[in-house]
C-alpha cells in the first residue's frame, strides 16, 4: 500500500544468513523485477551471494511446494515467495491468490521458518509494475529481520 507506515527496523544484518527464494514464472516480466530487487537488497544487507538459493516454478500455486522442499532441507534461515497474480475475468484470480497465500502461511507456521510473502496480487498490470521493485525490497528486508528475530527468540 502506497504511503503505508512500515516503521523502521534496527540495522538489518544478513551476513550469516542463508536465504531461499522461490519465484513463480507466470507474469515473468514482473517476477523477474521482483527477484532482481529482492536479490539486490539481500546483498546490500550483507547476505552472501553463495548463501542465496533461487529457484523458479511455473506459477504461484507451485510456490508453496518448492518452499516446503526448502524448509524440509533445513538449510535456510528464511525463505522468500515471489509471484504476481493479476485479476482476470474469472474466479481463478481469487483461487490462486487465496490458495498460494494460505500455503505460504501454513508452511511458515508448520516449519517455524520465516517466509516473506511477496506474491503480489493486483487488479492490473499497471499496479503490478508500480509495486514490483518495492515489494522485492520489502521481501528481502522482512526475511532478514524475521530470521534474526527468530534466532534471538530461540
Residues labelled catalytic: 92
The number of angstroms, rounded, from the C-alpha of 141 to the middle of its chain's C-alpha atoms is 10
Sheet containing strand 78-86, edge to edge, reads 52-57, 19-24, 78-86, 115-122
Question: How far is the C-alpha of 8 from the C-alpha of 77, rounded, in Å?
Answer: 21
Amino acid at each position: 500500500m502506497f504511503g503505508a507506515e512500515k516503521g523502521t527496523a534496527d540495522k538489518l544484518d544478513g551476513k550469516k544468513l542463508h536465504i531461499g527464494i522461490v519465484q513463480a514464472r507466470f507474469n515473468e516480466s514482473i517476477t523477474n523485477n521482483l527477484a532482481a530487487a529482492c536479490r539486490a537488497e539481500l546483498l546490500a544487507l550483507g547476505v552472501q551471494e553463495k548463501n542465496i538459493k533461487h529457484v523458479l516454478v511455473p506459477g504461484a500455486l507451485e510456490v508453496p511446494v518448492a518452499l516446503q522442499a526448502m524448509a524440509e532441507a533445513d538449510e535456510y534461515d528464511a525463505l522468500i515467495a515471489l509471484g504476481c497474480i493479476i485479476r482476470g475475468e474469472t474466479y481463478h484470480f481469487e483461487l490462486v491468490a487465496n490458495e498460494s497465500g494460505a500455503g505460504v502461511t501454513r508452511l511458515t507456521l508448520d516449519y517455524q521458518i520465516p517466509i516473506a510473502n511477496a506474491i503480489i496480487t493486483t487488479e492490473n498490470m499497471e499496479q503490478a509494475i508500480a509495486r514490483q521493485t518495492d515489494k522485492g525490497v520489502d521481501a528481502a528486508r522482512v526475511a532478514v529481520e524475521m530470521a534474526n528475530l527468530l534466532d534471538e527468540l530461540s
